[in-house]
Chain A
Amino acid sequence: MSFAIVAEPLLGVYKGQVGGGQLDPLPSPARLHAALVCAAAQGVRAVADGDGLRPCDADRDALRWLEAHPPDGIAVPETLPNGGAATAYRKEGLVVKEGRSPLSEKLVGKPAVTGVAVAGRFAWTWEQDPPEPVAAALGALCPEVPYLGTSESPVRLAVAAADPTHRLDRDADLFTGEGLDLTVATTGRADALEAAHRETSVAPLLRADAHRSSEKTTAPPVVTAGLELGRYARPEPPPPPTPWTSVLLFRVDRPIPPQLRVRYAVAVHRALVALVGDGAPAVLTGVYEPGVSRPSNRCAIQFLGPDAPHVGGTALALLLPREASEVDLTLIRMAVQRLRHVKVAAGPFGVKPPVEVPADAFWPEPAVGTERWWQTEPVAVPDSRPPRGGRWSLADAAALSVALVWRHEFSAPGRGDVRYRALAEAAAGRGVRVESAVRVMDRDVGHYVHKVNPDTVIQPYRAVLSLGDLTGPRTIAAIGQSRHLGGGLLVPRDLPSDIVRRWAR
């Protein structure tokens, strides 16, 4: 909860206008500031200034603090806009020389219903509390504000604590992206409002006050000084927990060919199990007692090319699964410190002591102007045979593999084929998109999987895919049947944003 100014619409409606009379969907920070200026300049806290009033010094300081510190966030409740054809005709209290009569009362039609219905309260929030004198001044000033918008939308304004629904994006480009672009008071706004008020407060000459036979409304001046636009954006929801929490990353002394990664990973796996010794946890061995439920993911062993991040060269990565216990993880961390050499028929290799990197901060940020997509490296292998009962593509198989890795994010009904189809569909619902999936023709499927069921047709494929909102852009993960032993690693493939937008259309 942050320091906040909270406004409760007392009739359940906020009525305000912006620009040329358009409906104001919510009171902006500038409107709040103007209301506070008004309350400070003529409420009980104001001090005499000639034959008029001005804000006291404490309130002036508070208003200037607001100008220097626009709200870091705003809380926008659920609202419903209103309008409609119903028109109320009212006499404006003016006499005009129009129509057939020499003099008549001005009758004006205005919408009978305007404004937005509000479920709850608006709030403007600051992450840091203001200095005590400012907080005290705002606390006393807020209850002196009777309305926001028109006098038909009275509010109860108070200093309180609130959570924002939108946060100020100080680097926002107002021409792209989404969010609420609201006017915000900046330095000099209160002074400009006071000056405009002083200027219009001079009584006209006696002659200028004479009644005229045809009257017009003299609109008050619109003061635009000390205003700027601020983008308030709804924060992206935090990505769901990563399937693997962290990565133990070892620099390797020579490149590992892609077609040998599964075999090398199997060798590393054997070496690690041997280093842990008796009682090696199932989350590492992959061997579970009968009846024990299996987690979505186990320890995964992957190889990265010569530009692997964090170590700057070919690397061996041991991905530690989220579902492992602390005891098991401690055992594994202790054992891997002793890993120096891995024996493998194709040629042994040495490793450097590991560094541990958080899985959600593994890859570098996407390049500017691009969106992060992923490519299977070297290939992925479907987790199941094609389910019966309809069309099933490699793209569906990839979506299913993604869903199985993030299984805790989905509650798919049914069993077997029905469940597989439901999982693939649910992944698509979370934004998982497979843009290309190409089968890899290779007679030796042993390059891509460790154990092969004689009834299963192995279909290794390369794919470019988006993980939707399942994870952040820097997370390391792998998909498919061989994800725990050198297959299906997802490496970044940053695509230009305009191409991605074209695909979306």
Chain B
Amino acid sequence: MRSLDLASLLAAGSAGGPSCLTSTTALEPAGGRHTSVAPAKFAARGKKGGVYAYEQRYLGDESRYAVVVDSKQSQLNRAEVALAQAVEDRHPLLSRVPHVRVSYERDGAVEHYYDLTLPHRVFDGHIRAGAIDGQPTTQTEAYRAVRDATPANARALLETSPVTLVFGGWDSSRRSRQGRWRSALVGEIVGFVAASRDQAGVLAEPTPALRGGARVDPVGMQINLNKKAMTETATRQQAELSPATYGDIVKAANGIKPGDAKSASALGLGGIPPTLDQLAGVACDTIIRTHVLSFATLRQMRFGAGVEGDAVCRALLAALALNALARSDAELYLRANCDLVEAEMPMVRLDQRGGAFLDVEPLSIDAADLLLSEALAHAEKAADVKWSGLAMRVTGNPDIVSGAVETDDNA
């Protein structure tokens, strides 16, 4: 089987090249096919508690219900985090990928955030609200060039935040000339569940199994505290509690009358009787991870380097996307109770147009690094691309960090 090389990416970056590359992998639970997996949990509209996202899909010609094990957004986040981690680890090659850093100072400590992981990449509010060398970011020439980049010439983005070109970004608050960059890479993991049908043959939506939850306190299943003890215990633990939880406990304590006592379960004391209300895992007979890298998307970008030079730049972006994919695919830990393994070799196909396909070897991290280094060296030479790591240092707006509160991310 042919391996994916720079020549393939250069062809994909040129007119008449492949539309896309698809990577499909059959996965199974690490514990074996008999074990269940914990899919991504979502908020339930209009009610409390989490739910799984089930959707109807076709597996071959058969209509089935599938559960979203990992969404497109989550898969892209994992690819971005893999790149960010390599940059944090000072990987010699990936450290050269241009990126934007936002720094906040909170309680005397400095925190860094990158366009690699901020939701809207280089157009994220944290970057736009900050300052570069004391000047508001949006008023600097360098950032204006990034915002003004268009498909006719995206060089400023290529040399400031190439991840925005690969994973997408939308300058949605700008009044005009909004940067709208679609993600060239998409992917997901879905698990197909047993098909249950009614008498008319219509698919029945699966009902998630529930598992029991309980807490045993060996000191006592019911621990009641008076107002003073409740307030003092909560205050001692305040640093470990969210402001909302702490506030609720103190409010409850204030309502305890003298001589009375109330349950201290909110402070983690006492037991909780068993209830059957927590989402259990889902048994899937087929779990499939799919990624699509769209060369057609990359071909809708130019970089002021001429026909061949632009193709070289697109090949560099494709190599970066594949590098992120190789790194994220190598880590199959998604969340607790959702350890997966590859059931077979990933099937990677390059569309050759006209109904023809070329199967290529899946990329290992080493092979992806080699491909990216070749693509970068070629881009430096043929398109005068400059990738030298940190491209923009942004000082975060202190008004934002002072107002930030911890929130639960349900997605």
Bound pair: A and B? yes
Contact of B351 among A112, A119, A156, A200 (CB under 8 A): A156
Partner of B400, one of A52, A103, A218: A103
Q: List A contacts of B203 (CB < 8 A).
A: 80
**Contact between B118 and A10 (Cβ–Cβ < 8 Å)?**
no
Chain B proximity of A3: nearest CB distance (Å): 15
A467 to chain B, nearest CB (A): 28
Q: Assuming A80-B63, A154-B294, A204-B177, is B45 touching A42 (CB within 8 A)? A: no
CB atoms of B55 and A82 under 8 A apart: yes
Closest-by-CB residue of B relative to A102 is B403
Complex contacts, B405 vs chain A, CB 8 Å: 100-101, 104
Chain B, Cβ-Cβ closest to A156: B19
Nearest-CB residue, chain A, relative to B397: A103
Not counting A44-B15, A216-B173, A218-B178, a sample of 11 additional A-B residue pairs whose C-beta atoms are within 8 angstroms of each other reads: A11-B188, A12-B58, A42-B152, A44-B14, A86-B51, A93-B120, A103-B400, A151-B168, A151-B183, A158-B354, A200-B178
B387 at the interface (CB under 8 A from A): no
Q: Lowest 5 A-B CB distances belong to which pairs? A: A93-B120, A101-B403, A95-B125, A86-B53, A80-B56
CB atoms of A42 and B351 under 8 A apart: no
> Given that A11-B188, A154-B186 are contacting pairs, would A140 and B129 also be in contact in the complex, using a CB cutoff of 8 Å?
no
Nearest CB in chain A: distance from B396 CB, A = 11
Do B407 and A215 have beta carbons less than 8 Å apart?
Answer: no
**If the complex has contacts A42-B300, A88-B73, A93-B120, are A204 and B174 also in contact, measured as CB distance less than 8 A?**
yes
Query: A86 contacts B44, CB within 8 Å?
Result: yes
Comparing B142-150, B270-278, B332-340, B366-374, the segment that makes contact with chain A is B142-150
In Å, the complex CA distance between A213 and B294 comes to 36
Produce 1/0 per residue, A21-56, CB < 8 A to B: 000000000000000001100111100100111000
Is there an interface contact between B296 and A146, defined as CB atoms closer than 8 Å?
A: yes
Q: How far is the CA of A86 from the CA of B175 in the complex (A)?
A: 32
> Smallest Cβ distance from A47 to chain B, in angstroms?
10
Collect the chain B residues with CB atoms within 8 Å of residue A118's CB.
58
Contacts of A158 in B (CB 8 A): 353-355
Q: How far is the CA of A44 from the CA of B306 in the complex (A)?
A: 11
The answer to whether B176 has its CB under 8 Å from any CB of chain A is yes
Classify chain A's interface size: 35 or more
Question: Does B213 interact with chain A (Cβ within 8 Å)?
Answer: no
CB-nearest residue of chain B relative to A118?
B58
Q: By the criterion CB–CB under 8 Å, are A209 and B139 in contact?
A: yes
Number of A-B contacts (CB under 8 A): 236
A220-B178 contact given A86-B42, A86-B52, A94-B172, CB 8 Å threshold = yes
Any A CB within 8 A of the CB of B61: yes
A94 to B120, CA, bound (A): 9
Q: Flag if B290 contacts A11 (CB, 8 Å).
A: yes
Contacts of A156 in B (CB 8 A): 19-20, 351
Residues of chain A at the chain B interface (Cβ within 8 Å): 10-13, 38-39, 42-45, 48, 51-53, 78, 80-82, 84-95, 100-107, 109, 111-113, 115, 117-119, 140, 143-147, 151-152, 154, 156-158, 160, 200-204, 206, 208-213, 215-218, 220
A218 touches B175 (CB 8 A): yes
B144 CB to nearest chain A CB (Å): 7
Check B138 for interface membership: any CB of A closer than 8 A: yes
With A53-B151, A85-B44, A90-B119 known as contacts, the answer to whether A218 contacts B55 (CB < 8 A) is: no
Q: Are B294 and A84 in touch, CB under 8 angstroms?
A: no
Q: Which of A44, A92, A157, A204 contacts B176 (CB 8 A)?
A: A204
Q: Which residue of A lies closest to B151 (CB)?
A: A42
Interface mask (B118-147 → A, CB under 8 Å = 1, otherwise 0): 111001111011000000111100001001
Q: How far is the CA of A112 from the CA of B150 in the complex (A)?
A: 30
Expressed in whole angstroms, the Cα–Cα distance for A143 and B403 within the complex equals 47
Please state if B120 and A112 are interface contacts (CB–CB under 8 Å).
no
User: Cβ of A81: which chain B residues have Cβ within 8 Å of it?
Assistant: 56
Which residues does chain A contribute within 8 Å of B183, judged by CB atoms?
151
- Residues 354-411 of B contacting A (Cβ, < 8 Å): 354-355, 397, 399-400, 402-405, 407, 409-411
Bound together, the chains give a CA A213 to CA B300 distance in angstroms of: 34
Contact A93 to B123, CB < 8 A, known contacts A85-B44, A146-B20:
yes
Give a binary string over B172-200; 1 marks a CB under 8 Å from any A CB, 0 the rest: 11111110101110101000000000000
Residues of B within 8 A of A111 (CB): 45
Distance in angstroms between the alpha carbons of A431 and B173 in the assembled complex: 59
A213–B44 alpha-carbon span in the complex (Å) = 31
A44 and B136 within 8 A (CB): no
Give the shortest distance, in Å, between B138 (CB) and chain A (any CB).
Answer: 5
A106 to B126, CA, bound (A): 11
Q: State A45–B310 Cα separation when bound (angstroms).
A: 13
Which chain A residues border B174 with CB–CB below 8 Å?
204, 209, 218
Is B138's CB under 8 angstroms from A210's CB?
yes
Known: A102-B399, A209-B139. A117 touches B151 (CB 8 A): no
CA distance in complex: A223, B409 (Å): 36
Judged by a CB distance under 8 angstroms, whether B16 is at the interface is yes
B405: nearest residue on chain A (CB-CB)? A101
Q: Tell whether A208 pairs with B22 under 8 Å between CB atoms, given A42-B151, A102-B402, A103-B400.
A: no
Nearest chain B residue, comparing its CB with the CB of A52 = B152
In the complex, the answer to whether B173 meets A113 with C-beta atoms within 8 Å is no
Q: How far is the CB of A151 from chain B (nearest CB, A)?
A: 4
Query: By the criterion CB–CB under 8 Å, are B177 and A10 in contact?
Result: no
Q: Are B55 and A84 in contact (CB under 8 A)?
A: yes
Evaluate whether A147 and B182 lie within 8 angstroms (CB atoms) in the complex, with A101-B404, A109-B45, A211-B129 already known. yes
Question: Given the complex of chains A and B, what is the CA–CA distance between A107 and B68 in angstroms?
Answer: 21
Given known contacts A104-B403, A204-B177, A45 and B15 CB-to-CB distance under 8 angstroms: yes
Contact B73 A144 (CB under 8 A): no
Flag B285-302 by CB within 8 Å of A: 1 or 0 each: 000001010101101101
Residue of B with least CB distance to A140: B16
**Cα(A424)–Cα(B235), bound, Å:** 84
Contact of A144 among B57, B292, B299 (CB under 8 A): B299
Q: How far is the CA of A204 from the CA of B147 in the complex (A)?
A: 10
* A95 contacts across to B, CB distance below 8 A: 125-126, 128-129, 397, 400
Contact A206 B144 (CB under 8 A): yes
Interface status of B303 (Cβ within 8 A of chain A)? no
B56, A85: Cβ atoms closer than 8 Å: no
| A-chain residues with CB within 8 Å of residue B354 when the two chains form the complex | 158
CA distance A52 to B151 in the complex (A): 8
Q: In whole angstroms, how far apart are the Cα atoms of A12 and B57 in the complex?
A: 7
Q: Within the complex, what minimum Cβ distance (angstroms) separates A107 from chain B?
A: 7
Contact call A211/B72, Cβ cutoff below 8 A: no
Residues of A within 8 A of B56 (CB): 80-82, 117
Closest partner residue, chain B, to A202 (CB atom) = B176
For A217, list chain B residues within 8 Å (CB). 172-173
Contacts of B351 in A (CB 8 A): 143, 156
Contact in complex: B51, A85 (CB < 8 Å): yes
Chain B CB within 10 Å — which of A13, A53, A90, A95 has the most?
Answer: A95
The answer on a CB contact under 8 Å between B15 and A200 is: no
- Chain A residue with minimal CB distance to B400? A103
Expressed in whole angstroms, the minimum distance between the Cβ of A4 and any Cβ of chain B is 13
Give Cα A42 to B152, complex, Å: 7
Report Cα–Cα, A85/B48, bound state, in Å. Answer: 11
Say yes or no: is B347 at the interface (Cβ < 8 Å to chain A): no
Q: Are A10 and B178 in contact (CB under 8 A)?
A: no
In the complex, 17 of the A-B residue pairs with CB atoms within 8 angstroms, ordered by the A residue number, are A11-B292, A44-B14, A53-B151, A85-B46, A89-B411, A91-B119, A92-B120, A93-B172, A95-B128, A113-B55, A118-B58, A144-B296, A145-B296, A154-B186, A154-B294, A203-B177, A215-B173
Question: Can you name the residue of chain B whose Cβ is closest to the Cβ of A44?
Answer: B15
Residue on B with the closest CB to A94? B125
Residues in B with CB closer than 8 Å to A212 are 173
The answer to whether A88 touches B42, judged by C-beta atoms less than 8 angstroms apart, is: yes
Give the residues in chain B near A201, CB-CB below 8 Å. Answer: 150, 176-177
In the complex, what residue of chain B is closest to A77 when comparing beta carbons? B58
Q: State whether the Cβ of B43 lies closer than 8 Å to any Cβ in chain A.
A: yes
For A38, the chain B residues whose CB sits under 8 A away are 300
- Interface membership of B263, Cβ < 8 A: no
Whether A144 contacts B72 by the Cβ 8 Å rule is no
Q: Determine the distance from Cα of A42 to Cα of B46 in the docked complex, in whole angstroms.
A: 42
